[in-house]
Amino acid sequence: MPKPSRRDRLKLVRRDLPDGPCWEIQQPRCGRERLDDISEVEAMIAGGEAEIAHEELVWLLTECPDFLEAHVQLGLLALEADDPKLARGHFGRAVELCTRALAAAGASGPLPYQLAGNRPFHEAAKGLVHCLLDLGRRGMAAQVCQQVIRLDPTDPLGLGSLVGERA
């Protein structure tokens, strides 16, 4: 996969909310230009055309490797196909991209789910935790949970309870 240019990488934008300053993930330009394609992919999946949706998502990633929504959708398709290892790869890549963007911005959070740009990160993290638990990697799942809860202590997707629910 070609390395994206600086303009085509995820970045963080500072937002001022009533609770204080926070960060929002901004898709690269190539990802923002392809958001309509994700709607089409979701329609394909709803119509039972998962294979075609998969091919479209792979193509989207060849055009825009940092496109978070494509990674999340591929992870979800892999879960549907009962392939937690492949799903882990896609969800893990999305989490890794966001973690790198945080480090590049020198930001430690918060990264609240309530901001639309942050939702793919949180959804990818939840998928990653499920995969890690399915694969018997409880310690790694707990680490991901801790990282995400540190970035959004409200834990709107209930990641903290996932590790406790599966004994």
Q: How far apart are CA 19 and CA 122, in angstroms?
A: 20
Q: Write down the pLDDT at residue 166.
A: 46
Query: Which of helix, strand or coil describes residue 96?
Result: helix
CB neighbour class for 60 (10 Å; exposed up to 12, middle 13-18, buried from 19): buried
Q: Which CATH class is domain 6-165?
A: mainly alpha
Q: Write down the pLDDT at residue 7.
A: 55
Strands (E), the chain: 11-17, 20-26
Q: Write down the pLDDT at residue 31.
A: 87
Q: How far apart are CA 106 and CA 143, in angstroms?
A: 20
Residue boundaries of the structural domains of the chain: 6-165
Q: From first to last of its 167 residues, what are the pLDDT tens digits of the chain? A: 444 444 578 999 999 988 889 999 998 888 888 888 999 999 999 999 999 999 999 999 999 999 999 999 999 999 999 999 999 999 999 999 999 999 998 888 899 999 999 999 999 999 999 999 999 999 999 999 999 999 999 999 999 888 875 43
Token pair listed for 155 = 């834990």
Q: How far apart are CA 106 and CA 49, in angstroms?
A: 41
Q: How far apart are CA 24 and CA 20, in angstroms?
A: 13
Token pair listed for 55 = 């091919």
